[in-house]
């Protein structure tokens, strides 16, 4: 994208910020948000992402509204492309259960075309042992050929969680995904969680997912088997220390594509979230995933690293 597109995105973001209501009162706190992340995969496809914005009515990292601008650069071999975007942000969740709403929505410019993007989760906790979530997402399909065609995907799902006893929890999800090239997918996912050492936040988990693609899609712009399935078993830790929450996952399993012989998958994730000087809220995360994504490599993997900062003004 050219500099003129980026300047327009910045001007639009400024107008959105000025239009944000100050109705939370003269004492309503503001904060700035800064995010940076980078990823790479088996297709030698790299992604570098920058976001900056202003949050209003900032009561905590779980309660705010605001606007942001971002630029994502994609690169593969000698090719590269930029995707500038403008988004509105909203979050209002309870600290104890995370029930509530988290959402962002906006527009992105890619290959001279404007596309709608966003991500939203609405969570409900009818009681201490039951959870329900409605999820929606819209974004770019991140491969070189898909970006050059400005292909997007839209996802909607419902998830239900039920705790049985003090240590066992089951989670199920059913979802529908539609691509702008006419492709459609039906998703099913399940997760079983057994708390091994509750005091240390250590659990054993079994995860399963499956999708089926429907509709005729010409060309090979992204990974798109007719049927895909994967299961993984692993250990997950989530531990609070002072003002920090530390979490990590290690898992391994198998995946099958169109009913062919399965092959191994692996997952490793680390995440730290907490407060540093001047009440700045920081999130650091890193992950490695060896399983199918949008990429086309036969034994696909991808890795990411990211940093997010929210600083009250």
Which pLDDT score is estimated for 25? 43
Q: What are phi and psi of 181, to 5 degrees?
A: -90, 5
Asked if 290 contacts 266 with a C-beta cutoff of 8 angstroms, the reply is yes
What is the distance between the alpha carbons of residues 262 and 228, in angstroms, rounded to a whole number?
Answer: 10
Q: How many residues does the chain have?
A: 313
Which pLDDT score is estimated for 7? 56
Angle at 88 between CA 47 and CA 188, to 5 degrees: 65
What is the distance between the alpha carbons of residues 186 and 210, in angstroms, rounded to a whole number?
Answer: 8
What is the distance between the alpha carbons of residues 193 and 235, in angstroms, rounded to a whole number?
Answer: 10
Q: What is the total count of domains within the chain? A: 1
Q: Is residue 80 left, alpha or beta, with left meaning phi > 0 and alpha meaning psi from -120 to 50?
A: beta
Count each helix (H run) and each strand (E run) in the chain, helices first: 2, 16
Question: How many other β-carbons are positioned within 10 Å of the β-carbon of residue 96?
Answer: 8
H helix intervals, the chain: 3-19, 144-148
In sign, the C-alpha dihedral spanning 270, 274, 277, 281 is positive
What is the distance between the alpha carbons of residues 292 and 300, in angstroms, rounded to a whole number?
Answer: 6
CATH of the domain at 223: 2.40.160
Q: Is residue 182 left, alpha or beta, with left meaning phi > 0 and alpha meaning psi from -120 to 50?
A: left
Maximum Cα–Cα distance across the chain: 63
Which pLDDT score is estimated for 11? 56
What is the distance between the alpha carbons of residues 127 and 124, in angstroms, rounded to a whole number?
Answer: 9
Which pLDDT score is estimated for 8? 54
Token pair of 117 as six digits: 């993007």
Q: Which domain holds residue 263?
A: 3-312
Which pLDDT score is estimated for 96? 85
Which pLDDT score is estimated for 1? 41
Which pLDDT score is estimated for 241? 87
Tell me the pTM.
0.87
Token pair of 235 as six digits: 């250990």
What is the distance between the alpha carbons of residues 43 and 208, in angstroms, rounded to a whole number?
Answer: 25
Task: Spell out the long-range contacts of 202-206 with Cβ–Cβ below 8 A and sequence spacing 24 or more.
Answer: 202/235, 202/236, 202/237, 203/235, 203/236, 203/237, 203/238, 204/233, 204/234, 204/235, 204/236, 205/233, 205/234, 205/235, 205/236, 205/251, 206/231, 206/232, 206/233
Reading the chain (313 residues) residue by residue, the pLDDT tens digits are 445 544 555 455 555 544 444 434 444 589 999 999 999 999 999 999 999 999 988 888 899 999 999 999 999 999 999 999 999 999 999 988 899 999 999 999 999 999 999 999 999 999 989 999 999 999 999 999 999 999 999 999 999 999 998 899 999 999 999 999 999 999 999 999 999 999 999 999 999 999 999 876 666 799 999 999 999 999 999 999 888 999 999 999 999 999 887 899 999 999 999 998 768 899 999 999 999 999 988 889 999 999 999 999 8
């Amino acid at each position: 994208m050219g500099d003129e597109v980026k300047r327009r995105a910045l001007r639009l973001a400024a107008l959105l910020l000025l239009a944000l209501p100050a109705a939370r009162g003269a004492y309503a706190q503001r904060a700035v948000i800064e995010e940076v992340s980078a990823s790479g995969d088996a297709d030698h496809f790299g992604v570098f992402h920058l976001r900056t914005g202003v949050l209003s009515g900032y009561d905590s990292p779980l309660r705010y509204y605001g606007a942001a601008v971002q630029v994502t650069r994609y690169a593969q071999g000698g090719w590269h492309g930029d995707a500038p975007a403008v988004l509105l942000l909203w979050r209002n969740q309870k600290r104890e259960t995370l029930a509530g709403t988290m959402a962002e929505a906006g527009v992105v410019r890619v290959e001279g075309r404007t596309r709608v993007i966003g991500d939203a989760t609405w969570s409900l906790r009818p009681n201490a042992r039951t959870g329900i979530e409605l999820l929606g997402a819209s974004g770019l399909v991140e491969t070189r050929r898909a970006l050059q065609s400005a292909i997007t995907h839209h996802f909607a799902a419902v998830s239900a969680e039920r705790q049985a006893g003090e240590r066992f929890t089951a989670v199920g999800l059913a979802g529908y995904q539609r691509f702008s090239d006419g492709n459609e997918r039906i998703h099913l996912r399940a997760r079983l969680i057994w708390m091994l050492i509750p005091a240390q936040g250590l659990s054993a988990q079994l995860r399963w997912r499956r999708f089926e693609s429907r509709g005729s899609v010409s060309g090979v712009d992204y990974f798109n088997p007719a049927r895909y399935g994967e299961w993984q078993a692993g250990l997950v830790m989530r531990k609070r220390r002072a003002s920090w929450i530390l979490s990590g996952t290690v898992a391994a399993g198998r995946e099958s594509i169109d009913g062919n012989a399965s092959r191994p998958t692996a997952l490793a994730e680390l995440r730290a979230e907490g407060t540093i000087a001047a009440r700045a809220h920081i999130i650091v995360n890193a992950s490695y995933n060896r399983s199918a994504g949008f990429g086309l490599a036969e034994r696909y993997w991808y890795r990411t690293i990211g940093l997010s900062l929210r600083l009250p003004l």
